[in-house]
Amino acid sequence: MTELEQILSTGTGRRALDRYFAGLIRAPDFAALEAELSALLEEHPSAFAPLCRASVREGVEIVGWERVHADILAMDRKGSRCTALGIDLTGHWEGEGPGFEVSLYDDDSFAFSTASRETLLDACKGYPTPWQGCFAEIETPLECRGLVLLDGAIRAYPDRHTVPSGALPRDYAGFVIALWWLYLRVHQGVADALARHGLPRAMPVLVDEHDFGPQIGGVFMCERVADSAERSAQILAQRAVEKRLAYDRLTEQLILEMREKRAVVRNWSFWRNRAHRRNAIELLEASDKVMFQDVVSTRGQLSVWLLSDREFEMLLDRYREHRRPGSSGKPHPDPGEERTQLHLLFLQHALQFGGRMVQREFPARRGRAA
């Protein structure tokens, strides 16, 4: 058993080693940490070692900074000044390679705008930090390139969350080395990106983790101010267009689902499977009530399946106008094929019990329900 394996064979030893490596990152003394990890790779060959060696600093890039700058501008426009940025390597990322939760903070949770680096390092050396969960905004605009294979191997390691007591799991020492190698490259990547891209204003950047591994508590003081206001404004304008389109598509999806529910009930013969038909009517009327309850001009309105086609179309126009004033007379976006799960269950029920008239109304859905 090597000296490293002896240290890792107890929870106390593992935690002490994590604190030591974290201290080098917080210093920041990246060169010292890389030298130590490189030596340990030689002493502890494992499946992780070649992945670490292939993950060089020059090949790591953290992208998405234009979106971060736009998020800061958006927060400013809401009347809350961003005074610190949090970048957490997250264990909840579902994409390829490491992913990040990016938190925007103001001075309500901590006096970031006047705090020194030493003050911030002291405040985040343990868990929880004074600003834990106190972000003003949180997004996931940053992604890391160049660490996909290493990150995948770390996340797939079966004993990733094991705290050993005695005998170590297979390749455990190699896993710990790889984990800290990934941390090193991520922090180097953030440092390089801040030097290259900067931020809309000088502010501290807190680099840590969320459900990924040991806490680090790294702090960078970003002094580079980016001239990004114009580009950020363009991004926010495009977001507004996309948000409006998504909202209008949702409106049309809700309308389409209501059309389909109405068609089901109107095509379901009253003598066929009457109990199931009653269930369908009750669900339609409940949906009807929820959908139109805030449309003032429809109060006291009959349920949609009792309306004529003309009355139904007039109701839908009023609903569009309620959702977005001025939109009822304009072209409407295609809602696509997406349906809510509850609506799909409704259609499945109708196709099973509603008879041939219902099945003819939804021929494309019939095969899927079967």
To the question of pTM greater than 0.85 for the whole model, the response is no
- Residue 282 has a CB neighbour count (10 Å cut-off) of 10
Long-range contacts of 95-98 (CB under 8 A, 24+ apart): 95/143, 96/148, 96/152, 97/143, 97/144, 97/145, 97/146, 97/147, 97/148, 97/151, 98/143, 98/144, 98/147, 98/151, 98/182, 98/186
Structure confidence by residue, pLDDT tens digits, 260-319 = 999 999 999 999 999 999 999 999 999 999 999 888 666 667 899 999 999 999 999 999
Angular region, 201: left φ>0, alpha ψ -120 to 50, beta rest: beta
Q: Is the pLDDT of residue 25 over 90?
A: yes
Per-residue 3-state assignment (H helix, E strand, C coil) for 262-313: HHHHHHCCCCCCHHHHHHHHHHHHHHHHHHHCCCHHHCCCCCHHHCCHHHHH
d(CA 90, CA 211): 6
Q: Is the pLDDT of residue 368 over 60?
A: no
H/E element, 144: strand 143-145
Q: In whole numbers, what is the pLDDT of the chain averaged over residues?
A: 93
Q: Is 350:263 a contact under the CB 8 Å cutoff? A: no
Helix (H, G, I), strand (E, B) or coil at 200: coil
The reported pLDDT for the residue numbered 299 is: 65
Structure confidence by residue, pLDDT tens digits, 168-177 = 999 999 999 9
Please compute the mean of the pLDDT values over residues 328-355 and round it to a whole number: 92
Alpha carbon 14 to its chain's center: 31
Residue labelled with tokens 């494992």: 46
d(CA 261, CA 284): 6
d(CA 84, CA 136): 10
Q: Is the pLDDT of residue 330 over 80?
A: yes
SS3 content of the chain, % helix, strand, coil (to 5): 55, 10, 35
The reported pLDDT for the residue numbered 1 is: 84
By residue count, the chain amounts to 370
Structural tokens at position 338: 């997406």
Q: Is the pLDDT of residue 322 over 60?
A: yes
Structure confidence by residue, pLDDT tens digits, 161-198 = 888 877 899 999 999 999 999 999 999 999 999 999 99
